[in-house]
Amino acid sequence: MKGIKMVDLKGQYLRIKNEIDAAIQDVLLGTDFIQGAQVKRFAEHLSVYHQGAHVIPCGNGTDALQIAMMALELKPGDEVILPVHTYVATAEVIALLGLTPVFTEVNEETFNIDPHLIKEKITAKTKAIVPVHLYGQCAEMTPIIKMAKEYNLFVIEDLAQAIGAQYTFPTGESKKAGTLGHVGCTSFFPSKNLGAYGDGGAMITTDQALADKMQMICNHGQRIKYHHDIIGVNSRLDTLQAAILNVKLKYLDDYTKRRNKVAGFYDTQLKDVPFIKTPARAPYSTHAFHQYTLRTDGIDRDHFKKYLEEKGVPTMIYYPVPLHLQKAYQRPGFGEGSFPVTEKLSKTVISLPIHTEMSEDELLYICHSIKNYHG
């Protein structure tokens, strides 16, 4: 079968082409390319989507993390706890601000930071925990929030892969990813669940003062033009991207449903394949299925990947090299063997195509190809 894609941005665009084209045309004719009305409108709509939490759009998801950490006044030497199995952006901004990234092992089933291993990482210098809701499912937030309260730490959620995921506390209270900690940081990179047609990101918080501060930092630390109260950056969401996102936000829940349908199909078809483990569903979170990530068991993952490629089935490895083994993030005392779960995952995970436009024929073909693999 030809033409199976990891993501199908063109197919997704074509279904809403008229609306998108009109929104773009509107911006072109309005020429408010920076800080246009569409940016404010998008922030308001995304705020409604997050039960009224403040939303501050910015240039990209990496900047969102950086601006959040700047606004929380984290200082050089402060330690920030994060999962070692994540995208580099999470660690990058920590290091860039002179803070110390403190890598923590993840749970093999959920791929997310293991809350039981956080406590031993906390020192007098620890200021924040950054749980990443990897592949679209929330990290186990209840013990993380409890620990953060006990040790007076900030919780900065990285929800770049999990926008729309819903977390349920033991009390039965349910909240969206991004509103669980002090601040949530997300990305509108084109292939993310809510993707722009370029870079984009946002911070989400229920704290008004923090929202004001992040808004200032995004725009050179100014509230009034040419009056700079704090040191900021230039990180704004383009009006064009905001106009596109305004259209796409209406479809986000439908997109999530479509992703879940694909995941459900894979679950059913692949659950009895002996050499793979389908992704675990945590009882406390819905899954936004940014990625559908299998763990291989007892086979050569890279050989399996190559076999699928030859069958016309693209796959991706998120992530092939753990952060503590990356040249830029090596730390004294850490090396091969320091994080065995993450190291194992880097050798065994494989993500299948999942997007909003997949056909049943494609899914059947992919599953058939997987079942026919013989090592």
User: Please, which residue, 61 or 101, has the CB nearer to ligand PLP?
Assistant: 61
Q: How far is CA 176 from CA 87, 158, 210, 215, 286, in A?
A: 21, 13, 19, 21, 10
Point out the residue whose Cβ comes nearest to ligand PLP. 61
- Shortest Å, Cβ 185 to ligand PLP: 7
- d(Cα 286, Cα 269) in Å, to the nearest integer? 21
DSSP state of 325: G
Q: Residue 314, Cβ neighbours under 10 Å: how many?
A: 15
Residue in this structure with the two tokens 């900065």, named with its chain if needed? 156
Minimum CB distance to ligand PLP, residue 113 (Å): 12
Q: Report d(CA 301, CA 295) in Å as an integer.
A: 9
In the bound complex, what is the minimum distance in angstroms from residue 340's beta carbon to ligand PLP?
22
**Considering only CA atoms, which of 12, 2, 372 is closest in space to residue 192?**
12
Which residues lie near ligand PLP (CB under 6 A)?
60-62, 86-87, 89-90, 132, 158, 160-161, 187, 189, 199, 201
CB of 141 or CB of 160, closer to ligand PLP? 160
Under 8 Å between Cβ of 348 and 341: no
Q: Smallest gap, in angstroms, from Cβ of residue 62 to ligand PLP?
A: 3
d(CA 266, CA 262): 6
Report in angstroms how near the CB of residue 234 gets to ligand PLP at its nearest: 15
- Tell me the closest approach of the beta carbon of residue 158 to ligand PLP, in angstroms: 5
User: Which two three-digit tokens encode residue 319?
Assistant: 């992530």
Question: What is the DSSP secondary-structure string of 63-120?
Answer: HHHHHHHHHTT--TT-EEEEESSS-HHHHHHHHHTT-EEEEE-B-TTT-SB-GGGTGG
Question: Rounded to whole angstroms, what are the CA distances from 121 to 82, 86, 114, 128, 313?
Answer: 10, 17, 12, 11, 41
- Cβ proximity to ligand PLP: between 275 and 319 the closer is 319
Question: Cβ 118 to ligand PLP, closest distance in Å?
Answer: 18
Minimum CB separation from ligand PLP for residue 365, in Å? Answer: 28
- Shortest Å distance, C-beta 129 to ligand PLP: 15
Q: Which CB, 161 or 219, lies closer to ligand PLP?
A: 161
Select 200 or 304, whichever has its Cβ closest to ligand PLP: 200
3-state secondary structure of 316: strand
- The strand pair at 100-104 and 292-296 is best described as unpaired
Per the CB < 8 A criterion, the answer to whether 278 and 271 are in contact is: yes
